[in-house]
Homo-oligomer: A and B are copies of this chain.
């Protein structure tokens, strides 16, 4: 079971001239000389040097590579802000049904009624969960949903003849928020966080000027805290005529408990790959549907999935669900076709499996698990070195600061994270949110058992004990992983981003 040196070869290094996996179907039409069909000057001069390998080699290569990954089905993965919950296997099965997986996106809607109905029902469910009446499934991920949201904001203001220039984001915001703001042509204005971890209302009021188009907020925030002043915040934002945007990355804390729409948000994005269990795939695919209020609706991307009410004169019943392109105020498309349908199938299956009670249970247990883990860490003495950034009960995740640990044990948050790898646990998110020094953001999710949380707490305590004895151990970690610490700085200085052939 030990790794062999051979494990490290790339697929290109395994290539040998003449090997192959692919066998082409026979040419069954009269063959015409290539130069007649494609003049030489349009043809490539040198071949693409793809690897030459047999099928067993490809299978073994990628199987071995897979073993160099840590994954959710192997162990605990409390990566804060990422909602690494169990990915039910049923979802892969239903998404693979040929009626879903082999459906061409340009199929006539009459011949894709199942797909359109599924999308419509998913819109409906997301609308209910968000507490907002309209949904577009189009965006491909959270940050794409953000972009949609800010572009909607722009269209909304422009439609009213207003040109606003700024978007507010808390200093605790995820990086995609300010990046999105710039991409959508606005200037970012940062709003501070108060000593309890909430939006600093004073600062917000000061910055809430009438050239502000929008406030983007995550609630619970990236600190894992619910904004108790959310109603005031909404009032301040709406009073200046701006929109209130909900970054839904943390929706897992509140499903069925409270709703962004009821809090006053105009636009919400969902991360179906977080709260709704689309597997993360090592960095996608995901989907970032958005839900919006009535006033934003006219601007939604096109096409929109609609249900046509059967008209009195018995209009075509085969077109009950349709794609509506006739949206004159729409901001337009954000991508090709109708969105990441394969993801919709999975998330829809999830919602159907759990129903209302199940979704609420998800959030309750997510919050219970986080608070329990926090309590357990306290009981283990871990918080002495890694105090909670804010002393209050958290939602589905919480932030510790490794600053005292760094000071007193001479190990950094990074070292702690790396040492966890040797214990078969994926580290939490580290150094985010930026406003907490040596931050450790821990999100256990609802699908973990109490035993797993207990073991994690004990492991952290053990690492701290070990560091008290000998900090060098953590500083040199990890030791048992396929590679040890990698020199990222050197890699970025002179980047090698492809194999030299």
A residues lining the B interface (CB < 8 Å): 1-4, 6-7, 16, 54-57, 59-60, 63-64, 67-68, 70, 73-75, 86, 88-89, 421-424, 447-449, 455, 480-482
Report chain B residues within 8 Å CB of A1: 68, 70, 421, 424, 480-482
Q: What's the minimum C-beta distance from A282 to chain B, rounded to whole angstroms?
A: 16
Report the separation of the CA atoms of residues A320 and B480 in the bound assembly, to the nearest whole angstrom.
Answer: 61
Interface of A, secondary structure class, is: loop
In contact, A424 and B4 (Cβ under 8 angstroms): yes
Copies in the complex: 2
**Apart from A1-B68, A1-B482, A60-B73: 4 A-B pairs, beta carbons within 8 A:** A1-B421, A1-B481, A60-B75, A63-B73
Bound Cα distance from A3 to B88, whole angstroms: 24
Chain B proximity of A459: nearest CB distance (Å): 9
Do B449 and A57 have beta carbons less than 8 Å apart? yes
Q: A54-B449, A423-B4 are in contact. Are A67 and B74 (CB under 8 A)?
A: yes
| Chain B, residue nearest A89 (CB) | B59
Given A54-B447, A54-B449, A88-B55; A423-B60 close (CB under 8 Å) = no
**Bound Cα distance A422, B3 (Å):** 9
Partner of A424, one of B2, B75, B423: B2
Q: A1-B481, A455-B6, A480-B1 are in contact. Are A86 and B59 (CB under 8 A)?
A: yes
**Cross-chain pairs A/B with CB under 8 angstroms, 30 sampled:** A1-B68, A1-B70, A1-B421, A1-B424, A1-B480, A1-B481, A1-B482, A2-B422, A2-B424, A3-B424, A4-B423, A4-B424, A4-B455, A6-B455, A7-B424, A54-B447, A54-B449, A55-B86, A55-B88, A56-B86, A56-B447, A59-B73, A59-B86, A60-B73, A60-B74, A63-B73, A63-B74, A64-B74, A67-B67, A67-B74
A16 partner residues in chain B, CB cutoff 8 A? 449
Contacts of A70 in B (CB 8 A): 1
A93 to chain B, nearest CB (A): 10
> Which residues of chain B are within 8 angstroms of A421 by Cβ–Cβ distance?
1
Which residue in chain B gives the minimum CB-CB distance to A1? B481
Q: Which 4 A-B pairs have the closest CB atoms?
A: A56-B86, A2-B480, A63-B73, A4-B424
Instruction: List B contacts of A447 (CB < 8 A).
Output: 54, 56
Q: For A55, list chain B residues within 8 Å (CB).
A: 86, 88
Assess whether A423 is in contact with B2, with CB atoms less than 8 Å apart.
yes
Q: Nearest Cβ in chain B — how far from A3, in angstroms?
A: 7
